[in-house]
Amino acid sequence: YLNAWEGVPSDLPFKVKQASWEAQLLDFVMLRLRTSEGFMIAELEDLLGRNVGIDFRRLLLEMKNHGYTQSDEDRVALTPPGWLVHSEITSRILECLLRKEA
């Protein structure tokens, strides 16, 4: 999906608005968490262009301890209770990642 934004032809008869980096990050986290596999942390780091950092790892541990996520060193996925608060988890992840960027 995110790759679809790359290489949009410039000769289209209509203007194509490119998604902002923040919108692409939101799409990545939100859509991947909606799958049973979740997302690979390495893929997130590739999108960010940097390491996720200790604050992100602490957030993952907190969510795992509350039973909302299944996570290890490589992957993050929601548990059944996590599905109930999917939007909140997505918001917290984005807030943490964007705060780190500042």
What's the CA gap between 49 and 66, in Å, rounded?
29
Identify the helix (H) or strand (E) that includes residue 91.
helix 86-101
Residue 3 lies in a domain: no
Does residue 12 sit within a domain?
Answer: no
How far is Cα 69 from Cα 47, in angstroms, rounded to an integer? 21
- When divided into structural domains, the chain yields a total of 1
Structural domain of residue 37, as residue ranges? Answer: 21-101
Decide if 41 contacts 73 (C-beta within 8 A).
yes
Identify the pLDDT of residue 102. 43
| 66 Cα distance to chain centroid | 19
The mean per-residue pLDDT over the stretch 34-38 comes to 95
pTM, rounded to two decimals: 0.80
Interatomic CA distance for residues 72 and 37, integer angstroms: 12
**Segment 39-91, tens digit of pLDDT:** 999 999 999 999 999 999 999 999 999 999 998 889 999 999 999 999 999 99
CATH number at residue 49: 1.10.10.920
Q: Is residue 80 part of a domain?
A: yes
Name the strands in the sheet holding 69-71, side by side, starting at the edge strand that comes first in the sequence. Answer: 39-40, 75-78, 69-71
Q: How confident is the model at residue 11, as a pLDDT? A: 72
Question: Is the model's pLDDT at 1 over the cut of 70?
Answer: no
Could you tell me which residues are beta bridge partners of residue 71? 76
